[in-house]
Structure 1
C-alpha cells in the first residue's frame, strides 16, 4: 500500500488542507493520505497552538467522510524535537509492507536541502509536490529528480494563521472550515483571544 504523509500543525485544519489531501488521494497513485499532526514542540512558546489532542480531534472530524484520508498521531509518541527522517524510519519499521511518501508544497521543496538527512529521505521515499504561489526558484538538484512528482493540485492560498486572526477579530470564517471543525472551534471558543 502506498501512503502519502501530509504533515502539519493543522491549527486548525481547513478546507485548503482537505482539498490538497483529497486531490492527492484521487489524482495520484497514492492509496491513502495520512494527515500527520505535528505535536507542540515543548521548547517553543506557541500560545496560539492548541493542545495536540484538540488538533488531532479536529483532523478526525474533518476527515471522517473521506475513506482514503486518515488522521495520524504517530509523532506524538516520538522524542521531541522530531525530524521527518526519524518519523519515516519509525513508520517503515512499524509497517514494513507499506511504502511511505511525503506530500509537500513547492515552498517546502525549496528548503528540503536544509532538512536533516534529506539525501536519505530522497533515496528511500518519493515526494509528491503540490503548487504554491510565490514559491521561488527551485534548487537545481530537485528539478528532474526521479523521486519527486509534481501533482497539479488546485492552488489554495488559505492559512490557519489567517483563520485564527479572523476568529479573533470576530469575522465569519464558516466557508473556510469543514462544518464539524467549525462547530468544534465555535463550541470551545478556540482562537477568540
Structure 2
C-alpha cells in the first residue's frame, strides 16, 4: 500500500514525527516545529497477505531501515490476525497484524516498525492548534492545551522526560498547518 511521501508543505493527513523540544519555535508571524523527522510504517492489503505463500517476495523496510528490501518468503505462519514471515523479527523476518482491512508491521511491543521518510524543515502551527498529551500516565485523561503559544510552551518543556518520537507523537496537518498534536503514553 502507498505510504507517506515527503513533500513540503506536507499534504493534509496525520503523520508520525519526532523532534527535539528546542526545535519548537515562537515566530513573529507563526509558531513552528523545525526539523521534524517524519516516519511511516509498511502496510499491506489483506488479500495480498492472505494469498502470500513460500517462494513469493514481500517488499519491506526490514527492521525499520530506510531502504526497501525484497524479502523472499521461506515460511509463513498464520494465527488469528497475526502473520509471521521467515520466523518473524527474532529470526530476520517480519511480523504483521491485521488492522481493519489491511496488515501492518509489528514489533515486540505491538507498535509498527517505523522507518524514516525524511525531515520536514518547518511545520507551521495553526493559531487554534490543540495538543492532547497523555504521555505521563496511561490511565489518566490526556492534558489538553489549546492555542499556538500555549502549545509551543508545552512542547518546548524538556522537564517531563517523555520526548517527542514516532512511537508516541502524531501531528494532523490541514491546509498546510498543524491543527492537532497527539502524544500518547508508551511503556
Report the TM-score, using the length of structure 2 for normalisation: 0.24
Q: Kindly indicate which of the two structures has a greater share of residues assigned to strand.
A: 2
Q: Kindly indicate which of the two structures has a greater share of residues assigned to helix.
A: 1
Report the TM-score, using the length of structure 1 for normalisation: 0.24
